[in-house]
Structure 1
Amino acid sequence: MPDADDGPVSESEQAELVQALRRHLADGRLDIEQFDVRVARVYGARTRAQARRALDDLPLLGVPSTRRRFRRRHGESAQVQPHWVATEELFRDPATGRVMRVWIDPTDGTRHYAQAEP
């Protein structure tokens, strides 16, 4: 199976990454020059992996505490988002017996679970 990180980066993925960079700028982790360089890196990237490198040395952003999250069993996601990064972590859901893969959202560090491909 080809690595999803090798796929082309979409405009919506670029927008999400730039939004994360804006939060880092607002929180004082980047100055405006660093922000500009990283935004250029996102928009100049050909693949998802290249675009995500703009966030490499920045801490993961927390999920706002005012946001209430509703989950399926074990945090199961309905659909894997293209910008999520697959981990090697697999587990068997004890309720359904399905093998699940763990995915990380690089923009905020949240973990998501989706059925692993057979």
Structure 2
Amino acid sequence: MHIGEFAERTGLSSRTLRHYEEIGLIPPTGRTEGGFRVYTESDLRRMLTIRRMKALGYSTTEMGELLELLDVLEGPASRDDKEAARAQLHATLEDSRARREKLALQVERADEFLGILRDRLS
């Protein structure tokens, strides 16, 4: 798929997609003979993972590290490397839960503020 469709399917701008490619979060894309980027379903899956990490406030550096761990876990790595990646990802799971709880609290407070505004405007 070309960058326009890829951007639409990920909900990210073409500029963001190019930036993520430049900094190595997604591998360099294939190109058509005309030089247009071509993305795969694997690229889509990776980008959706990145988008979800971004929602939890992970930096691009942290995202890169987490993607490397996921690549080790899902790729042709040694058993020891996979176990080390799994252990680090378990820690990330706990961190992600804590980040989500913090976000949920922020949403709750935002909802309370919206209620205050509605009440005062009534």
Q: TM-score, normalised by structure 1?
A: 0.22
Instruction: Give the number of the structure whose residues are more often helix, by fraction.
Output: 2
Rg larger for: 2
Instruction: Give the number of the structure whose residues are more often strand, by fraction.
Output: 1
Structure with larger RCO (C-alpha < 8 A, sep 6+)? 1
Q: TM-score, normalised by structure 2?
A: 0.21
